[in-house]
Amino acid sequence: MGGFHLLLLICFFSFHLPSNNFATNETDKLALLAFKSHMSNGPSGALSSWNDSFHYCQWQGVSCSNHHPDRVTALSLVSLSLSGRISPSLANLTFLKSLNLSDNKFTGNIPAELGHLSRLQFLDLNMNNLDGNIPSTLGNCSNLKFLSLGTNNLQGTIPPQFGFLEQLEELSLFRNNLTKSIPSTLGNLTKLIDLYLRDNKLDGFIPPSLGQLKAIKYLSLSENYLSGKIPHSIYNLTAMLWLSLSVNQLDGNLLSNFCDALQNLQIIAFYKNQFNGQIPISISNCSAMTMIDLGSNNFRGTIPDSIGTLQNLFWLDMSSNQLKATGDDWRFFDSLINCTFLQKLDLGDNQLQGMLPSSIANLSTSLNHLSLRMNPISGNIPAEVGKLTNLIALELHQTFIEGTIPKEIGKLWNLEGLGLKGNMLSGEIPSSLGNLTKMNVFLLENNAFTGSIPEELSNMQLLNSLNLSNNQLIGPIPKKIFNLHSLSISLDLSNNYLNGSLPPEIGHLGNVAKVYLSNNKLSGQIPTTIDGCQLLQILHIDGNQLNGSIPLSLSNMIGLQDLDISNNAFSGPVPEFVGQMKLQHLNISFNNFEGELPKDGVFRNASAVDIRGNSKLCGGVPEMHLPKCVLYNQKKKHNSKIIIVIIFCIGGIICLCITMFLIAHFCCKRGPYNNPLPLVAKNSEYQKVSYNDILRATNNFSLENLIGRGSFGDVYKALMNFENVSTVAVKVLNLKHRGASRSFFSECRVLRKVRHRNLLKVLSLCSTIDHHGNDFKALIFELMPNGSLETWLHPDACTNRQFRSLNLIERLNIATDVVTALDYLHNHGPTPIVHCDLKPSNVLLDEDMTAHVGDFGLARFLVQPDSMSSLLTGSTDGLKGSIGYIPPEYGMGGKASVEGDAYSFGILLLEMFTGVSPTDERFRDGLSLHNYVQMAFSDRFSEIIDHKLFPANGGENTNSEDVQDCLVSVIQCGLLCSKLSPKERIGIKEVVKELNWARMKLAAEMREIKSDKSKI
């Protein structure tokens, strides 16, 4: 009977239970389709393969297991611009081990049902628009090892259930809107190695239970609202290497036995808190310490001289505290002589008193940043400072230092930033400072310097900010100062005794944003060439002896927002064009202006205009409270004479116009610079394009079609027919800009001679006159749908569209494309050519993300092929390139060379793989991108690599040996290319080999990863 019952049970289950394969097929497939139904397909059609034409295990991003056929084990849809909500149906994928939906546009809550995925090991929802609370059910995923929910809009607290995730190795909740306190249940994660809760809104105390994380090595709680003291239990974390608590509201003393417990500690970052008390002497027991950042706190007392025993120290920042030093208290300074790796020493904004010790000369030869600013230091600047030849930044401003600037400072060849403002320095500015050719920021304001401005300062061809204001300088402004084309921030010479006129060379400052020449003794008129300052936003020339009228050329300065010409001797009417400018503030007070005041633009806002002291002005808007303008009857007696004068004037103008038209027509036909034929073959394959063609194709150069602005012109999108191309890019030269015409001929000459898949292809050109009789020149190129590399590396700076992050493979492919193009230009073209302006904005990407190098306006031929070469190669005078990418030797008058292109490419390479621009604000205090990478290359390599490099690998094997070797090779190429000396730089041919090797190795690694995933 028992056997009969067993037979019945077997029959029942065989008829009434579906087979395992059938159930799993239906369950997993339906779960994926339900997930798809809640979101968009993405602009790239990423989910187009999700249909019945393919088995669902072959759908994009889906991986199935070999051990359990047809069961989905991994779903990776990274950086595909997918939007919509994450469907709870994913919880039905019960065999799922890895879920990566990072870098998309998903909205809504994280489904609580994901907590049912008991096999889940990897979950990455980073960089989306998710909101709501973190579901506590995720604590049920007991096999979870990696959890990243950063860069979303999540709120609330960290669920206490996370304490049961015993296998979790990395928890990243970086950059959310997490609020409330840190739950004590985090202490249950006893196997946790990395804990990153940085950049949230967490408040409250640091829970003592974190002291149970015995395996923790990296703990970052920076940039929150944490308060209170560091719990004693933290000092039980004896394995900890890195403790970062910066930018919080923590207070209290550091325990005296701080480093007795944490002897393995290498980095402490407590910047910007409210810690107080003395710095414990035991800090010297952390013998492995490399970085100490205690800046912006309330530490008191003296700096322990035992700190010099930390022989591995390379970074010491105790700035913005209340530390003292008088007499023997400076012994700590002598002890730092033992720190032979020290690169940054910042003790600024404290209460250090007395004279600087001469032992400053014995500090580490590696020191590149020394700051003692804002301390009551007295005496002279010791001449021994000139021995610190690797200094990049020297900050001694706002102290009580007096005397003269020692000429030895002129020996600090590597100096990029010098701050001596706000002291009691006197005497003449040494001409030896002109030797500092790498200088970026030069600040000597608010001292008592006398004499004239040394012409030698014009040797600082990388300078972007020069401030000599509030001194007692005399004489004219050296004309060579206006040849500092690199000035991009400001030129401030105000409040001195400078005389003479404003030279026409002021128009050479084409990149400067602010010019202050107020309160001097300048005379004469405003030169008409001032419109060369196209990026100028603020111009203050008040308090001088300038005269004449406001020049018409001022109307060409489209960026000008603040104009102050008060307290001078200007006269005549206020021109109508002033009201048509984009001014936000205008001061013309205390001059001799007369006549009717304009009513448009800035004149509509009475609070934005100061017109006091001009008694002959009338009219304007009622808020100006000026008298009405009156026409006198006496003028009628002169009407007949005026009519005769007008007739003669009109006749003269007509004759002049006819003459100019004939000249222009003759030049257009015969002139060597208006006809593009000498630059292309007579039987050219280029399609002829007229001015009217371009005018129509760009819709009268409308702003809607404007896609970019370069050094010498604007680029428009245009609809034109060129074989298989219907949409093109038209570069219209601004011929008023100095060098634009030469740039046009240079670009034509180069593009006629070169043909390469990684160089931007020119389709045609146009050299004629426009409807106003002015010269017109334009180049027509293929339109690159994916824009420039600049907008992909720094999407935050792009206002008109959003870009996803470039992954490691894409960046390596682009870098290889660029260096291949350089290799062709240097070594394989008909004539060796140097590009001279390599930067991300000149690397354009087509629809397949293939890179094309463009903009040859500054290119140079290394061999003159014919008589036109002198025009096209240009002189070696002036700066060739863009700030941040210019080789140092160019700033010293060096000729264009292939080594110069190698330097620019090296900087570009470092920027691509660190995500940091060479003009980033962090480099304005004496640091450069090359030095920043070099300092971290040996022991902090992972910190400088852009964290967005690996969005497509689902977080798997990104730290493999082959991937690391690839990255090391690439960064090493960047460092070798950007060496200071041209002779030390690696050749482009070698770089091509290295990058191709790295690309092949990476491709093999990716294939292996893909193979491993398919086996899961």
Q: State pLDDT tens for residues 108-157.
A: 998 999 989 989 888 888 888 888 887 888 878 878 887 878 777 877 77
Helix (H) or strand (E) holding 988: helix 988-1015
Residue 626 DSSP label? P
Q: Are 781 and 760 in contact (CB under 8 A)?
A: yes
- 582: number of Cβ within 10 Å: 12
State which amino acid sits at residue 19: S
DSSP secondary structure string, 20-41?
Answer: HHHHHHHHHHHHHHHHHHTB--
569-572: strand order across its sheet: 474-476, 497-501, 521-524, 545-548, 569-572, 592-597, 616-619
Tokens of 746: 């240079």
Backbone angles phi, psi at 523, to 5 degrees: -135, 180
Helix (H) or strand (E) holding 266: none
Q: Closest Cα to residue 865, out of 830, 840, 895?
A: 830
Is the pLDDT at 475 greater than 90, yes or no? yes
Range of 362-366, 535-539, 670-674 with top mean pLDDT: 535-539
- 634: number of Cβ within 10 Å: 7
Digit-coded pLDDT (tens) for 10-49: 333 333 333 333 344 678 999 999 999 888 766 667 788 8
Q: Closest Cα to residue 817, out of 853, 856, 781?
A: 853
d(CA 958, CA 484): 45
Digit-coded pLDDT (tens) for 242-292: 888 898 898 988 766 777 778 888 889 899 999 998 988 888 888 889 999
Contacts of 144 (CB under 8 A, 6+ apart): 120, 121, 122, 123, 138, 165, 167, 168
Integer distance in angstroms from the first to the last C-alpha of the chain? 46
State which amino acid sits at residue 626: L
- 19: number of Cβ within 10 Å: 9
Cα dihedral sign, 587-591-597-598:
negative
List for the chain the helix, strand, coil content (%; round to 5).
Answer: 35, 20, 45
Q: Closest Cα to residue 572, out of 525, 641, 523, 522?
A: 525
Q: Closest Cα to residue 863, out of 893, 896, 841?
A: 896
Active site residues: 837
Whole-number percent of the chain with pLDDT over 70: 83
State which amino acid sits at residue 698: T
- The beta-carbon contacts of 571-575 under 8 Å, at least 24 apart in sequence, are 571/547, 572/548, 573/549, 574/550, 574/598, 574/617, 575/549, 575/550
Is the pLDDT at 1013 greater than 70, yes or no? no
d(CA 539, CA 526): 12
Range of 64-78, 566-580, 756-770 with top mean pLDDT: 566-580
203-204 and 225-228 beta bridge pairing = parallel
* Residues belonging to the chain: 1016
Is the pLDDT at 802 greater than 90, yes or no? no
pLDDT of residue 869: 32
pLDDT classification of 803: cutoffs 50, 70, 90:
low
Q: Are 705 and 728 in contact (CB under 8 A)?
A: no
Of 221-235, 364-378, 835-849, where does mean pLDDT reach its minimum?
A: 221-235
Is the pLDDT at 854 greater than 70, yes or no? yes
pLDDT of residue 902: 94
Of 19-33, 663-677, 858-872, 1002-1016, where does mean pLDDT reach its minimum?
A: 663-677
569-572 and 592-597 beta bridge pairing = parallel
- The beta-carbon contacts of 524-528 under 8 Å, at least 24 apart in sequence, are 524/500, 524/548, 525/501, 525/549, 525/551, 526/502, 526/550, 526/551, 526/554, 526/565, 527/501, 527/502, 527/503, 527/551, 528/504, 528/552, 528/553
Range of 12-21, 623-632, 810-819 with top mean pLDDT: 810-819
pLDDT of residue 609: 94
d(CA 758, CA 766): 24
d(CA 1004, CA 962): 9
Q: Are 305 and 281 in contact (CB under 8 A)?
A: no
Q: Closest Cα to residue 362, out of 336, 392, 381?
A: 336
Tokens of 42: 């993405």
SS3 1008: helix
Contacts of 459 (CB under 8 A, 6+ apart): 434, 435, 437, 892
Digit-coded pLDDT (tens) for 559-573: 899 999 999 999 999
Is the pLDDT at 78 greater than 70, yes or no? yes
d(CA 431, CA 404): 13
Q: Closest Cα to residue 126, out of 56, 86, 174?
A: 174
Cβ burial 485-514 (10 Å sphere, 16+ → b, else e):
bbbbbbbbbbbbebeeebbebbbbbbbbbb
SS3 205: coil
Digit-coded pLDDT (tens) for 404-457: 999 999 999 999 899 999 999 999 999 999 999 999 889 999 999 999 999 999
pLDDT classification of 659: cutoffs 50, 70, 90:
low
Tokens of 351: 């209460």
pLDDT of residue 539: 96
Longest dimension (CA), the chain: 138
Average pLDDT, the chain: 82
pLDDT of residue 638: 46
Helix (H) or strand (E) holding 909: helix 898-914
pLDDT of residue 648: 58
pLDDT of residue 682: 35
Whole-number percent of the chain with pLDDT over 90: 36
DSSP secondary structure string, 710-747?
Answer: -SSEEEEEEEEEETTEEEEEEEEE-TTSTTHHHHHHHH
pLDDT of residue 395: 94
Q: Closest Cα to residue 442, out of 383, 492, 374, 401?
A: 492
Is the pLDDT at 99 greater than 80, yes or no? yes
Is the pLDDT at 575 greater than 90, yes or no? yes
pLDDT classification of 642: cutoffs 50, 70, 90:
low
SS3 188: helix
Q: Where are the beta strands (DSSP E) in 530-591?
A: 538-540, 545-548, 562-564, 569-572, 585-587
pLDDT of residue 640: 45
Residue 68 vs residue 851, higher pLDDT: 851
- The beta-carbon contacts of 533-539 under 8 Å, at least 24 apart in sequence, are 533/506, 533/507, 533/509, 533/557, 534/510, 534/558, 534/559, 534/737, 535/488, 535/510, 535/511, 535/559, 536/509, 536/512, 536/560, 537/513, 537/561, 537/562, 538/513, 538/514, 538/562, 539/515, 539/563, 539/564
